[in-house]
Chains A and B, each alone.
Chain A
Amino acid sequence: MRKKYDDIKALFEENDRDVIIDTARKQEALQSVCTKNASMKNTAGSRWQLVKGQLLYMNKNILCFHLAACMGMVLLVWTNWCDIQAWEQYSMICSGVLGALSVLEVGSMFFSGMTELEASCYFNVRQLTAFQMTYSGILSLAALLLSTVFASIRLERNILMTGIYILVPFVTTECVCLAVMLTEIGRRNLLVLIAAGIFSAFFWSILASMPRLYEASALVFWIAALVAGMGIFVLQMKWFFEILDKGEIVCAD
């Protein structure tokens, strides 16, 4: 192969021998290529710049609510504001609210009607959904973890059991809200999604007021609910990405 390239090079050199090369034009061409190359490098941002740009300019209305809910949940146990029983009830509601807000962040793209435009960009709706689900999930899980840790320290709860209890409303509310988002009416109407979130959080607050629900004997019920919720959530996300790929749901009409 090397020999073949050498042959071609020799052939070119032989043919070019009689060609008079204008040094000034050659320099000009080189300059032009270098300028073009430099401008191409400048137009595409680095990965960090792109993420920073997204975080800086994206719609942060729901993210603000989300952050406030996360802080509220952590402060609830950090400040020793309530006793163990009240904490159980409040934490269930907060966990449900965080689940609803995680889905609401994705929903905000649909409610604004921007999805069609976003789908034509380098970072499309699928990637934006994944990005939003990731950061809102991390945020919620961090708040739930902190709350669990503080509860186990201050209220002397078993950390593993508390973690499981608190995750169930989060996951199930996410499932309920995602189910709503999978329907056309749910994607078009913010109120339907909010109502679903409130309903789920309310359901868990009633359940949390029931006696003996937090005893060790009920742990099997909680684990089963968590596993089922996570399974449903994974299936829903898969379905959601599949219909995003078809594209009809991102169109404005």
Chain B
Amino acid sequence: MCRLVLTGIEKIYKDKKQEKKAVQNLTVHFEHGVYGLLGENGAGKTTLMRMIVGILKPTQGQITYDEVPIRQLGGAYRSLLGYLPQDFGYYKDFSAVRFLNYIAALKAIAPQTAKERIDRLLETVGLADARNKKLKTFSGGMLRRIGIAQALLNEPQILILDEPTAGLDPRERVRFRNIISALGKDRIVILSTHIVSDVEYIADQIMIMKQGALIKTGTQAKILEPVAGCVWKCSVPECEAEALNAAYAVSNLRGGEHSGQVELRIVSQEKPHSDAAAVEPVLEDAYLYYYLCERSHHRGAWDQKGGTI
């Protein structure tokens, strides 16, 4: 089985005035499966992905594929890669099919193979009818789909997707979840997203990043384990809801239409309200839980306050 190993990875951006540590001392290994990378903006997800792709050179540490440094592998490593950047540019006058042919040429795919794969992928991403349309006429969702198609052109062993479902409508998102899920069976798929439910449905392993560091990794069950008994649901009047919202980490807040009652989902180690009932945690609760633990810099601060903020 092929293994991608990151050892002691660090990335420091040097500005004229200051240094910014985007990724710090990160060690992780990837085998076949879907890895979901969660984290807020600026957590270092994109920098990490760019280093895995080989675009950015780590300031410290090494990335190896099958025990060989990826920089040493060069083109051989890149030929195993499929990458969808968060924002990718394109030549506006290119049609969808020309764009994919251009990328196929860059990926050194033989023309006949490229033609077959382009036809198949355009069908897969639902752009067969728009194959000759110029990219400048495409909507955000269509561009995302063509981006996913180009990432799959070389049938990659390592698929890296930065916000793959951003801009897609719910039906397309479900379709892509299924595609990505199927791909993860025999290759490494790493995807970053803000949409927690995407990770929840398809990731075998979840990685939560905060300020350049991995704060939690594991299967969904492992991630949820410490959160059990810390998620509460209660229905309170609007005036009370505001106070609870200020005092606790509220993962969901839903107002009743006419009742004047508000339904809250709270992440807290103590019971937040006399009417609150413990509920099963979901990944969104866990995400909030770990982020709040880290926000107070150490678990102790969270615990001292009884898990409130």
Contact = CB atoms under 8 A, between A and B. Distances in A.
Interface of A: 42-46, 49-50, 53-54, 56-59, 61, 112-124, 128, 245-248, 250-253
B102 to A, nearest CB: 4
Given A53-B105, A53-B111, A116-B89, 17 more contacts: A42-B110, A43-B109, A43-B113, A44-B108, A49-B111, A53-B114, A57-B105, A113-B88, A115-B89, A116-B85, A118-B106, A120-B83, A122-B75, A247-B50, A250-B55, A251-B55, A252-B89
B107 A59 contact: no
Contacts of A117: 83, 85, 88-89, 103, 150
21 contacts: A49-B110, A54-B106, A57-B102, A57-B105, A59-B91, A59-B94, A61-B93, A112-B90, A114-B91, A116-B50, A116-B85, A119-B53, A120-B81, A122-B75, A122-B108, A123-B75, A123-B105, A246-B57, A251-B56, A252-B86, A252-B87
Contacts of A113: 87-90
Nearest to B92: A112
Interface string B141-162: 0000000001000100000000
Contact of B107 (A122, A128, A245, A253): A122
Contacts of B81: 120
A39 B53 CA distance: 26
* Interface-centre pick from A46, A59, A245 (highest chain B CB count, 10 A): A59
Given A44-B109, A45-B111, A251-B50, A53 B104 contact: yes
A64 B50 CA distance: 34
Contacts of B114: 53
Nearest to B47: A251
Contacts of B98: 57
> Which 3 pairs of residues, A with B, have the shortest CB-CB distance?
A113-B89, A53-B105, A121-B106
A104 to B, nearest CB: 14
Interface residues of B, number: 39
Contacts of A112: 89-92
B79 interface: yes
B89 A120 contact: no
A109 to B, nearest CB: 9
A116 B112 contact: no
B55 A120 contact: yes
Contacts of A253: 87
B283 to A, nearest CB: 28
B232 to A, nearest CB: 39
A121 B85 CA distance: 12
B85 A42 contact: no
Contacts of B106: 54, 118, 121-123, 128
Nearest to A121: B106
B8 interface: no
A113 B107 CA distance: 18
A45 B108 contact: yes
Contacts of B78: 120-122, 124
Contacts of A116: 50, 55, 85, 88-89
Interface string B231-267: 0000000000000000000000000000000000000
Contacts of A43: 109-110, 113, 154
A46 B106 CA distance: 13
* Interface-centre pick from B55, B90, B93, B111 (highest chain A CB count, 10 A): B55
A49 B92 CA distance: 25
Contacts of B90: 112-114
Given A120-B55, A124-B78, A247-B55, A114 B89 contact: yes
B132 to A, nearest CB: 14
Nearest to A59: B91
B2 to A, nearest CB: 16
Contacts of A245: 57
Interface in B42-94: 50, 53-57, 75, 78-79, 81, 83, 85-94
Nearest to A45: B110
A138 B104 CA distance: 26
Interface in B1-57: 13, 50, 53-57
B193 interface: no
A59 B105 CA distance: 13
B101 interface: yes
B160 to A, nearest CB: 8
B117 to A, nearest CB: 9
B88 A252 contact: yes
Contacts of A128: 106
A58 B102 contact: yes
A246 B50 CA distance: 11
Nearest to B104: A53
B53 A120 contact: yes
Given A43-B113, A45-B109, A121 B55 contact: no
